[in-house]
Amino acid sequence: MIGRELKGILAELGITQADFSRLICVTSRAITLWISGERPVPGPVESYLRLLHSLPFTSRQIEINRAREGRSGMRDGMFAITFQGQQSVGVGVLIFENGRIYGSDEAGVQYDGMYEYDERTGLANVTIKVTFPPNVIAVFGISNPYEWAIDVTASFNPNQSSGALTVKTSIGKLINAQYRFLRSLPEAA
């Protein structure tokens, strides 16, 4: 399949590039590269389009509407987090994107993890590896002369613009935190 065929099928199905990117969990930029011919259309994408095209109209519309509404109630984007421990406070930025989390804070601490959105509860269950640079004092008072890491978990409602949460650490320390939604992620780069 070449780019203009992809463009034609999307037009025939009435699907925008943004909707299609959500359907197949890729960026809109990937769709643009396929349509322009800069990258080949992957075989699984061709197979999915054939399957989608073969569905009865109502089934196809259900799938397309699901993409337009979002796959879940999870709001991906940038979140600010302010946390406080016994020793100090900190501020960081976390990016939530398609089940992944990454970010950093003002002390150079790195956050890498994942989340699962629970449709039933409306909460995002978060697991993050927090990596501290050498000699950085964590908000709970620990510092090491080498890079070190802990795991943290929390649950929060990502569809609220702000709120409180309790972060549990793998070393048994609890951290009180506040989160605030900053912005959505761009559709295309």
Q: Which three-class secondary structure string do you get for the chain?
A: CCHHHHHHHHHHHCCCHHHHHHHHCCCHHHHHHHHHCCCCCCHHHHHHHHHHHHCCHHHHHHHHHHHHHCCCCCCCEEEEEEEECCCCEEEEEEEEECCEEEEEECCCCEEEEEEEEECCCCEEEEEEEEEECCCCCCCCCCCCCCCEEEEEEEEECCCCCEEEEEEEECCCCEEEEEEEEEECCCCCC
**77-183 placed in CATH 2.40.128.380:** yes
CATH T-level fold of 3-69: 434 Repressor (Amino-terminal Domain) (1.10.260)
Task: Quick: pLDDT tens for 110-141.
Answer: 999 999 888 788 899 999 999 999 999 998 88
Average pLDDT, the chain: 86
pTM over 0.75: no
| Delimiting residues of CATH 1.10.260 domain(s) in the chain | 3-69
